[in-house]
Amino acid sequence: MFVRSKADIENTAHFVEWGAGTSHRLLTEKDQMGYTVCHTVVRAGTESLLHYRNHLEACYCIAGNGEVEDMNGNVYQIRPGDMYVLDQHDRHYLRGGQDEDLVLVSVFNPPLRGDERHNLSDTSGSSY
Protein backbone atom coordinates (compact mmCIF):
# COMPACT_ATOMS: atom_id res chain seq x y z
CA MET A 1 0.00 0.00 0.00
CA PHE A 2 1.04 3.60 -0.53
CA VAL A 3 -0.47 7.06 -0.28
CA ARG A 4 0.30 9.83 -2.74
CA SER A 5 -1.05 13.38 -2.91
CA LYS A 6 -1.21 16.04 -5.60
CA ALA A 7 1.41 17.95 -3.62
CA ASP A 8 3.79 14.98 -3.96
CA ILE A 9 3.59 15.32 -7.77
CA GLU A 10 4.02 19.13 -8.05
CA ASN A 11 7.81 19.22 -8.58
CA THR A 12 8.18 16.05 -10.63
CA ALA A 13 7.93 15.11 -14.32
CA HIS A 14 4.48 13.69 -13.47
CA PHE A 15 3.07 17.21 -13.10
CA VAL A 16 2.31 18.20 -16.68
CA GLU A 17 1.27 21.53 -18.15
CA TRP A 18 -0.42 20.23 -21.30
CA GLY A 19 -1.26 23.45 -23.08
CA ALA A 20 -4.90 23.95 -22.06
CA GLY A 21 -4.54 22.92 -18.44
CA THR A 22 -2.63 20.71 -16.05
CA SER A 23 -2.41 17.04 -15.19
CA HIS A 24 -1.16 15.50 -11.97
CA ARG A 25 -0.31 11.92 -12.96
CA LEU A 26 -0.93 10.35 -9.57
CA LEU A 27 -0.63 6.71 -10.62
CA THR A 28 1.57 5.74 -13.58
CA GLU A 29 3.09 2.78 -15.37
CA LYS A 30 5.93 2.49 -12.83
CA ASP A 31 3.37 1.79 -10.09
CA GLN A 32 2.46 -1.46 -11.89
CA MET A 33 -1.29 -1.19 -11.32
CA GLY A 34 -2.22 -1.57 -15.01
CA TYR A 35 -3.80 1.89 -15.36
CA THR A 36 -3.11 5.58 -14.74
CA VAL A 37 -5.09 7.99 -12.54
CA CYS A 38 -4.74 11.73 -13.10
CA HIS A 39 -6.17 14.89 -11.58
CA THR A 40 -6.81 16.94 -14.74
CA VAL A 41 -7.72 20.60 -15.04
CA VAL A 42 -9.04 21.97 -18.35
CA ARG A 43 -8.78 25.75 -18.24
CA ALA A 44 -11.88 27.89 -18.78
CA GLY A 45 -12.28 29.10 -22.35
CA THR A 46 -9.92 26.55 -23.92
CA GLU A 47 -10.56 24.02 -26.69
CA SER A 48 -8.29 21.09 -27.54
CA LEU A 49 -8.54 18.47 -30.27
CA LEU A 50 -7.36 15.21 -28.70
CA HIS A 51 -6.96 11.65 -29.93
CA TYR A 52 -5.57 8.91 -27.71
CA ARG A 53 -4.44 6.30 -30.23
CA ASN A 54 -2.70 4.09 -27.66
CA HIS A 55 -4.91 4.51 -24.59
CA LEU A 56 -8.54 4.28 -23.57
CA GLU A 57 -9.69 7.01 -21.18
CA ALA A 58 -12.56 7.58 -18.77
CA CYS A 59 -13.05 10.99 -17.14
CA TYR A 60 -15.18 11.79 -14.10
CA CYS A 61 -15.98 15.44 -13.41
CA ILE A 62 -15.41 16.51 -9.81
CA ALA A 63 -15.76 20.31 -10.21
CA GLY A 64 -16.48 23.10 -12.67
CA ASN A 65 -17.97 22.51 -16.08
CA GLY A 66 -17.08 22.09 -19.71
CA GLU A 67 -17.95 19.98 -22.70
CA VAL A 68 -16.75 17.22 -24.94
CA GLU A 69 -17.63 17.00 -28.64
CA ASP A 70 -17.32 13.91 -30.83
CA MET A 71 -16.39 13.98 -34.51
CA ASN A 72 -20.06 13.70 -35.49
CA GLY A 73 -20.75 17.10 -33.90
CA ASN A 74 -22.50 15.74 -30.79
CA VAL A 75 -21.75 18.06 -27.87
CA TYR A 76 -22.05 16.79 -24.30
CA GLN A 77 -22.12 19.18 -21.36
CA ILE A 78 -19.94 17.93 -18.50
CA ARG A 79 -20.71 18.88 -14.90
CA PRO A 80 -19.82 17.43 -11.48
CA GLY A 81 -21.01 13.84 -11.26
CA ASP A 82 -20.78 13.25 -15.05
CA MET A 83 -18.42 10.78 -16.68
CA TYR A 84 -17.40 10.53 -20.32
CA VAL A 85 -15.64 7.52 -21.78
CA LEU A 86 -13.38 7.35 -24.84
CA ASP A 87 -13.74 3.60 -25.41
CA GLN A 88 -12.94 3.57 -29.14
CA HIS A 89 -9.80 5.76 -29.16
CA ASP A 90 -12.26 8.54 -30.05
CA ARG A 91 -10.97 11.77 -31.53
CA HIS A 92 -12.72 14.58 -29.66
CA TYR A 93 -12.77 18.22 -28.68
CA LEU A 94 -12.40 18.95 -24.98
CA ARG A 95 -13.46 22.38 -23.75
CA GLY A 96 -13.22 24.11 -20.40
CA GLY A 97 -16.27 26.05 -19.25
CA GLN A 98 -16.87 29.60 -20.38
CA ASP A 99 -16.24 31.00 -16.92
CA GLU A 100 -14.74 28.16 -14.92
CA ASP A 101 -12.27 25.33 -15.23
CA LEU A 102 -13.34 21.75 -15.81
CA VAL A 103 -11.79 19.48 -13.18
CA LEU A 104 -11.62 15.76 -13.90
CA VAL A 105 -10.31 12.50 -12.53
CA SER A 106 -8.93 10.79 -15.64
CA VAL A 107 -8.17 7.07 -15.88
CA PHE A 108 -6.02 5.68 -18.72
CA ASN A 109 -5.55 2.10 -19.84
CA PRO A 110 -2.88 1.02 -20.58
CA PRO A 111 -1.06 3.24 -18.11
CA LEU A 112 0.87 6.36 -19.06
CA ARG A 113 4.58 6.69 -18.35
CA GLY A 114 3.55 9.96 -16.73
CA ASP A 115 5.65 12.47 -18.66
CA GLU A 116 3.67 12.52 -21.94
CA ARG A 117 2.84 15.96 -23.34
CA HIS A 118 0.16 17.10 -25.79
CA ASN A 119 1.00 18.78 -29.09
CA LEU A 120 -2.05 21.01 -29.50
CA SER A 121 -0.81 22.35 -32.84
CA ASP A 122 -1.28 18.91 -34.48
CA THR A 123 -4.28 19.41 -36.78
CA SER A 124 -5.23 15.71 -36.55
CA GLY A 125 -5.45 15.96 -32.76
CA SER A 126 -2.85 15.67 -30.06
CA SER A 127 -2.04 12.06 -29.43
CA TYR A 128 -0.01 9.74 -27.27
Closest CA to 78 of 54, 52, 106: 106
How many CB atoms within 10 Å of residue 19?
Answer: 15
Contact 81, 36 (CB under 8 A): no
Each of the 128 residues of the chain gets a pLDDT tens digit; together they read: 999 999 999 999 999 999 999 999 999 999 999 999 999 999 999 999 999 999 999 999 999 999 999 999 999 999 999 999 999 999 999 999 999 999 999 999 999 999 888 888 888 777 77
DSSP assignment letter at 44? T
Determine whether 13 is exposed, middle or buried from the number of CB atoms within 10 Å of its CB (0-12, 13-18, 19+).
exposed
Cβ atoms of 107 and 37 closer than 8 Å: yes
The model's pTM: 0.93
